[in-house]
Structure 1
Amino acid sequence: MTSDVSASYLAESRSSTVQGVMWVMAIVPLAFVCMRLYVRVCLKRVFGWDDFIIIIAICCLVAYAAVCHVASTLGLGRHFAIVSEKPEHLIDVALLCDIGEALAIMACTLGKTSFAVTLLRIVVHRWMIILLWFVIVTMNLVNILAALFIFVQCKDPRHLWNPAIPSECWPSNVFTNFSLFVGAYSGAQDFVLALLPWTIVWNLQMKRKEKLGVAFAMSLGIFAGAASIVKTTYLVALSAKSDFTWELAPLLWWAAIEDGLAITAASIPALKPILIRVFPGSSARQNYDMISYPPDSSQQKVFDNAQGETQTDIGHATIHDKGSQTAVLETQSPGKGDESINMTTEISVTFNRS
């Protein structure tokens, strides 16, 4: 089989690129998720649903990188003509790639879901809440179906990685067209989740420079949307599957790039306390806090409003529903029964909820 092709063709390999991209796009987001959890659990003593979801997402992404690494050692990234010399390797590559695709879909979905849940804690308009829930529900429904369709295209799923096993299957264009729709819809959701923070932040009483900093930090998911568009273009080239071990490699690593960017973008807004610790003399606190705290604010306990409290922290901004407190002091002169009540008022930025 290999005698009809040139030696340079057979020597071509994308395997090392697959391994490098996969692990970079798994380790970098993992570092950001670890920093996010350090801030949330160790510094702020809070843990929300968005944190739990992002943990599952990064686990799926690391598993995806590991599966693709093993597949690349067996032939992923090499031409079909050379991999087919060992049929058992060809079967293993096909199986691992199917498993990897499902893991990539779930990592991407959960990363975006985590960020959407974070936004749910800070939005103030009803239409934003409805939009976010629509994105969360439809995004998970469409992507879960996409992950399932990988394995249910044939009555006997084993036919997908071992064509020697006979089975009735869907027409090849059905799954390809659905995958194109999922890729386009996923990219559109990235842009929605990236642009929504601008609507939230721009109406707040902050300096323009501060608004730009906060909004940009919460809009990095737009790069995941760009990666999703590039990934979708490779689906068309893959539809023929004439050289799938070679053609599948770019699709898989662009999926890893999209996943890694989505998870990283969902974690960055929570890292303000680390920025303040790294640059203690900078203006990071003033640039990213919507309100000013009194000098002893470090003694105040921070609550996550996901647990029913009135304070919401988004990593770069804090919103209070109430900004006053009353302190009743003990008797200054117990012998005379002279009691004193001291009331202090804290002024904070507030806005109306609609």
Structure 2
Amino acid sequence: MATLPSPANGTAVLPSSSASSVPARDPHPANYAWFLNISIWILATSSTAFLTLRIWGKRRRDRKLWWDDHFLISSWVCLIISCILQSFATTLGFGMDNRDIKDLATTRLVSLIAGFFLIIAAAWSKTSFAITLLRISDGWVRRFVWFVLLSTNIAIALSGVIQWAPCWPLQKQWHMELPGVCLRLWFINGYNIFVAAYSGLMDIALALLPWKIVWPMVIWSRREKLGITFSMSLGVFAGLTSFAKILALYLVTKPNAEPEFVMVLMILGTAESAITIIAVSIPVLRSSLKGNIRPVARSSLAVL
């Protein structure tokens, strides 16, 4: 997750005789904080509602919370922390042009921490769904889920490391005027784009696996199997959101990146985890409302 874009090239200081050629600064600069706040809190509220209903559904049927539930709750906590930090950053000027932010270093640091929590939220929400699939799969499908679980977490973890350690000294991340060295921008951007693409692809792969797992079962009607597999495949939208981040990552690292690009990237990062939480909660909620998922002959679908 990118933080604030690098400051745009400063306007050269011209002699007083040429001062009229220097473009005047807008006394009322654009501020996209409202757009960010509305978007992320709609996503946060929606994910909170569905996660609450998921837990309620399990409690209603006297089901204990398992590892997938705990990872999902932890992901939600990280998502909420990130949203709080993003909103706090907007009070410091996040959402405006860098030249209009009074305390740019603090704003960068807060947005950096907010982005880091989004990385954790994304990793743990995907882990939750993968653990659910591990409980209902076997054979090559189970091995594939393990591969996706491990490789995705490693890729996202490295993204978190790169976010925190691209510069030496570390403080140069938010105090850009400090002397030091940083990783090449093309490397950081390229790896983040790779993670977004790989994560999106794995989201879609996991979302399609229920069709392979559930469809051969004969204990439900065709209509019921369609309902179960469709509800378990909604994670495909999280994958599409991850793909959308690729364009946002490209735009946010351009030399003269507009602040609205950063807003879109943060919103997409929030949406990725929020959509996953919602998608993973819907199958459990559906089962609770319909009451049709029963432990039949050790059926793995009883975990829903």
TM range (shorter): 0.7 to 0.9
Q: Report whether the alignment pairs 1:36 with 2:50.
A: no
Please, what TM-score do these two structures have when normalized by structure 1? Answer: 0.75
For 1:40, the aligned partner's letter is K
For 2:272, the aligned partner's letter is E
Write the distance in 1 (CA, Å) between the matches of 2:233 and 2:196.
19
More helix by share: 2
Q: 4+ residue stretches of structure 1 with deviation over 6 A? A: 290-293
Report how far residue 273 of structure 1 moved.
5.1
1:81-92 correspondence to structure 2 within 5 Å: 81-83=99-101, 86=102, 88=103, 90-92=104-106
Q: Report whether the alignment pairs 1:268 with 2:282.
A: yes
Paired position in structure 2 for 1:209 = 223
Write the distance in 1 (CA, Å) between the matches of 2:185 and 2:282.
40
> SS of the counterpart of 1:11?
coil
List gaps (5 residues or longer) in structure 2. Answer: 1-9, 12-21
Report how far residue 272 of structure 1 moved.
3.2
| Contact kept in structure 2, 1:68 and 1:97, CA below 8 Å | yes
1:101-112 correspondence to structure 2 within 5 Å: 101-112=115-126
- Percentage of pairs with the same residue: 30
Paired position in structure 2 for 1:333 = none
- Cα deviations across residues 219-260 of structure 1 (Å, max 9, x unaligned)? 110111111111111111112353464431110001111110
Paired position in structure 2 for 1:178 = 191
1:283-298 correspondence to structure 2 within 5 Å: 284-285=290-291, 288-289=292-293
> Larger Cα Rg: Structure 1 or Structure 2?
1
1:49-198 correspondence to structure 2 within 5 Å: 49-83=67-101, 86=102, 88=103, 90-123=104-137, 125-198=138-211
For 1:255, the aligned partner's letter is G
Paired position in structure 1 for 2:15 = none
Distance 1:80 1:314, change over 3 A: farther
> SS of the counterpart of 1:97?
helix
Write the distance in 2 (CA, Å) between the matches of 1:159 and 1:80.
16
- Cα deviations across residues 60-85 of structure 1 (Å, max 9, x unaligned)? 000110111111121222122322xx
For 2:190, the aligned partner's letter is N
List gaps (5 residues or longer) in structure 1. Answer: 276-283, 294-309, 317-354
- Matched pairs, number: 284
Write the distance in 2 (CA, Å) between the matches of 1:315 and 1:272.
13
| Contact kept in structure 2, 1:272 and 1:315, CA below 8 Å | no
> SS of the counterpart of 2:183?
coil
Paired position in structure 1 for 2:64 = 46
Write the distance in 1 (CA, Å) between the matches of 2:42 and 2:63.
30
Write the distance in 1 (CA, Å) between the matches of 2:39 and 2:107.
18
Q: Which has the higher contact order (CA 8 A, sep 6+)?
A: 2
CA RMSD of aligned residues (A): 2.3
Paired position in structure 2 for 1:258 = 272
| Contact kept in structure 1, 2:251 and 2:257, CA below 8 Å | no
| Contact kept in structure 1, 2:76 and 2:277, CA below 8 Å | yes
Distance 1:80 1:268, change over 3 A: same
Distance 1:129 1:273, change over 3 A: closer
Q: Report whether the alignment pairs 1:239 with 2:253.
A: yes
For 1:232, the aligned partner's letter is I
- Cα deviations across residues 9-68 of structure 1 (Å, max 9, x unaligned)? x53221101011111111211121122222224532412111111111000000110111
> SS of the counterpart of 1:271?
helix
> SS of the counterpart of 2:168?
coil
- Cα deviations across residues 313-351 of structure 1 (Å, max 9, x unaligned)? 4466xxxxxxxxxxxxxxxxxxxxxxxxxxxxxxxxxxx
Please, what TM-score do these two structures have when normalized by structure 2? Answer: 0.86
For 2:129, the aligned partner's letter is F
For 1:20, the aligned partner's letter is I
